[in-house]
């Protein structure tokens, strides 16, 4: 099964090397793609030096990057993470297991539950946005504890599995 690690990036020079190395260690058979979205730093060069397949997306915005990734890359399993090292690579095996076992076509995981993301994230109002999104999803799915971390997709229009604790 062909696994593609998708890493959209904007100014991730300081963390992209670790992200690439972590996912290479966990999934050495995967192909790692970094899409640079007009970074002003050396994200592109660092990713290339660390063995990633690196592309440039000149249309600004993560939506444009994600659209290009899914149009350009052919794989059986897609793992999308950010280049800022907020997704722990060691959990990738348990999160893609339902895909590999053909139990699901898409799995959404959680990067908020262990508390480190809240402490690491310094962007104003970003943590508030995460709380608002989680509350809305909980209301939509009548759950009191839906968690969101890594994004795995075989096909966006297929069955969605949401991990509930």
Output the domain CATH number for residue 9.
3.90.550.10
**Residue 112, pLDDT score:** 59
Which of 47-51, 82-86, 128-132 has the lowest average pLDDT? 128-132
Number of domains in the chain: 1
Q: At 126, is the pLDDT very low, low, confident or very high (cuts 50, 70, 90)?
A: low
User: In the predicted model, what is the mean pLDDT of residues 14-31?
Assistant: 97
Residue with tokens 């640079």: 36
Residue 9 in 3-state DSSP? strand
3-state percent helix, strand, coil for the chain, nearest multiple of 5 = 35, 20, 45
Q: Which domain holds residue 115?
A: 3-162
> Nearest Cα to 154, choosing from 70, 76, 68?
76
Q: Rounded distance, CA 126 to CA 144, Å? A: 21
Residue 82 CB: number of other CB atoms within 10 A?
Answer: 19
**Residue 113, pLDDT score:** 60
Residue 155 CB: number of other CB atoms within 10 A?
Answer: 10
């Amino acid at each position: 099964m062909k696994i593609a690690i998708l890493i959209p990036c904007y100014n991730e020079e300081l963390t992209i090397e670790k992200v690439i190395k972590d996912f290479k260690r966990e999934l050495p058979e995967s192909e790692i793609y970094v899409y640079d979205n007009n970074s002003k730093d050396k994200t592109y060069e660092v990713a290339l030096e660390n063995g990633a397949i690196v592309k440039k997306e000149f249309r600004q915005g993560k939506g444009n990057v994600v659209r290009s990734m899914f149009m350009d890359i052919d794989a059986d399993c897609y793992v999308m993470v950010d280049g800022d090292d907020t997704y722990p690579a060691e959990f990738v095996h348990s999160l893609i297991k339902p895909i590999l076992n053909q139990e699901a076509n898409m799995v959404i995981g959680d990067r908020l539950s262990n508390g480190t993301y809240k402490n690491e994230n310094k962007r104003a109002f970003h943590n508030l946005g995460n709380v608002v999104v989680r509350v809305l999803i909980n209301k939509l799915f009548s759950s009191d504890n839906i968690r969101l971390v890594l994004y795995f997709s075989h096909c966006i229009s297929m069955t969605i599995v949401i991990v509930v604790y």
